Every structure is written in C-alpha cells, then in structure tokens.
C-alpha cells in the first residue's frame, strides 16, 4: 500500500502512514489518504483476526485458528494464499517473518478507537465539555455481523459489553454535569439496546430522579418489572426497589454510580 507523501523517503520498515482498518459495519476495508482499499475475500479473516489480537502470533496458531478443518499443511497453504492476496491488493499492513505475524503498529483500527472512548468514560476521564457519544458506538454493538467463529463471537461480546458500560457511564457523567435531559436520552439508548440490563435501568431511574420526575421512574419500573417477570421469571434487584421508595431523594445523582473508578472530572452534581 503506497500511502507515503511522494517527497518523503519511505522508511526501511515499510511503515504505513494514516492507515485505518475499518472493522465496524457490514464490510471491512482499509483506508489511507482518502483512498479506500477493498480487502480480498480470502484475506479478510486473516487480517481481522490479527487486528483484533494486536500482538505477534505464531503462524501455526493463526493457520489453526482460521482453518481448523484439515491438515496443518493445508492450513499453512491457506495462510500463504491469504497473505499473497493482501499483497496483490496493495494492502501492506502486516509484519510477517518465518514464525509469526502481526498488524503493523502504525495501523489504526476503528475498534480500538471505540474501546479507548469507552475506557475514558468508564474511568471518568472525560471533561464535561467533551461528554458525547462516539460516532462509532452503534456499529460497535454488532461487531462483524454474520461471523460465527468463536474468536469473533468473543470479541463481539467483549466490545458490546464495553460500549454498554460506556453508555451508562456517559449518562452518569452528564448527570453530574447538570445535563439531565441528555442523561435521560443516553440512558434510554442503553435500555433500548438491552432492555433486561438492570444497570441501564438504574441509570435511567437516576436521570429521571434528578429531574424530579418520580412518575416517570414508577412507569419505567412497572414496565421493567413486568418484562423481567415475563422473560426471566424473577423480580428486579433490591437496588431498583430502593430507588422507587417514597423519600428517595429526587435530584440526587448518587443512585446509580458509574461503572469503574469513581474519580470524575465533570464537576459536582446539581443542587
């Protein structure tokens, strides 16, 4: 892949500049300097596997994970073919030697951008003026749709859970910043994604309470209680019952603590 300015000497390592591997969405691809590179069908699984693991992996392990059916010789041949197709498509984003493979450090992966956004929210490291949804968050909830390999399913669920935690943390941070309407909207987003998720319901209850809307809290609780009874045959957790009791402080934002560390840069809760 030629992504270096024409006047700049190419580094000896063959590093790429400004290159992004896009895994979110229906069709993975590579972009560099406003140009889109389509990944050959026979190389997608290889490139995505290495991008999601982001460390050197032995060739034998890569081949065995991606082509588990058949002999080791055939798997090794499939691996060589996938590497050849990438080179033929002018996509030079891997470091390969005789024993291992890895994605180049210079290549950005959009999944990592979402994960970094989620981490900053969960750890309360986002200033109030920067509290906002990642532009990728909706697609991050369904990483690699239609892929059913064990390694893809695990990475999909890991990212999904991280984004859900981030949504709850974002709602909490907005609440602390006095932006109650936005906190309600983000909490509703988390609830819509996973209606049975109790921590998302707590975030929604806390946002409604901060606005003094106890009727909304009771309405949401009634709907959630009916849902978990019907779907799971259980009652909501005691924390939700506590939040709907008379005298539970409307306007307080401590009812649904953000996940992760409690240090925050977004200021104090509104009076």
pLDDT, tens digit (0-9, with 9 covering 90-100), for 73-84: 999 999 999 999
Q: Where are the domains of the chain?
A: 19-106, 109-244
Cα distances (angstroms) measured from residue 193 to each of 33, 52, 142, 163: 34, 23, 11, 10
DSSP bridge partners of 103: 94
Q: pTM (2 decimals)? A: 0.81
Segment 70-94 mean pLDDT: 94
pLDDT, tens digit (0-9, with 9 covering 90-100), for 15-43: 445 799 999 988 999 999 889 999 999 99
Closest CA to 209 of 256, 164, 174: 256
Dump strand ranges (E) for 137-197: none
Judge whether 21 and 109 are in contact, CB under 8 Å: yes
CATH number of 19-106: 1.10.10.10
Kindly indicate whether the domain formed by 109-244 is annotated with CATH number 1.25.40.10: yes
How long is the chain? 271
Closest CA to 178 of 131, 133, 126: 131
């Amino acid at each position: 892949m030629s992504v270096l300015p024409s006047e700049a000497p190419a580094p000896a390592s063959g590093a790429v500049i400004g290159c992004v591997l896009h895994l979110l969405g229906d069709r993975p691809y590579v972009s560099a300097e406003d140009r889109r590179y389509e990944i050959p069908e026979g190389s997608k699984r290889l490139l995505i596997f290495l991008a999601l693991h982001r460390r050197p992996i032995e060739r034998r392990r890569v081949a065995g994970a991606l082509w588990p059916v058949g002999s080791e010789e055939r798997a090794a041949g499939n691996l060589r073919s996938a590497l050849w197709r990438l080179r033929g498509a002018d996509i030079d984003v891997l470091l390969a030697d005789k024993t291992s493979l890895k994605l180049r450090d210079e290549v950005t992966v959009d999944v990592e951008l979402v994960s970094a956004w989620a981490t900053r929210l969960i750890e309360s490291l986002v200033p109030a003026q920067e509290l906002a949804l990642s532009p990728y968050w909706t697609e991050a909830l369904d990483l690699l749709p239609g892929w059913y390999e064990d390694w893809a399913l695990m990475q999909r669920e890991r990212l999904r859970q991280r984004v859900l935690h981030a949504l709850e943390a974002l709602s909490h941070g907005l609440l602390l910043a006095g932006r109650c309407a936005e906190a309600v909207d983000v909490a509703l987003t988390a609830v819509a994604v996973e209606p049975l998720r109790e921590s998302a319901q707590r975030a929604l209850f806390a946002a409604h309470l901060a606005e003094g809307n106890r009727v909304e809290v009771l309405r949401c609780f009634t709907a959630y209680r009916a849902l978990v009874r019907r779907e799971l045959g259980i009652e909501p957790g005691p924390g939700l019952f506590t939040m709907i009791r008379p005298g539970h402080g409307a306007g307080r934002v401590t009812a649904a603590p953000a996940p992760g560390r409690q240090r925050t840069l977004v200021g104090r809760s509104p009076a």
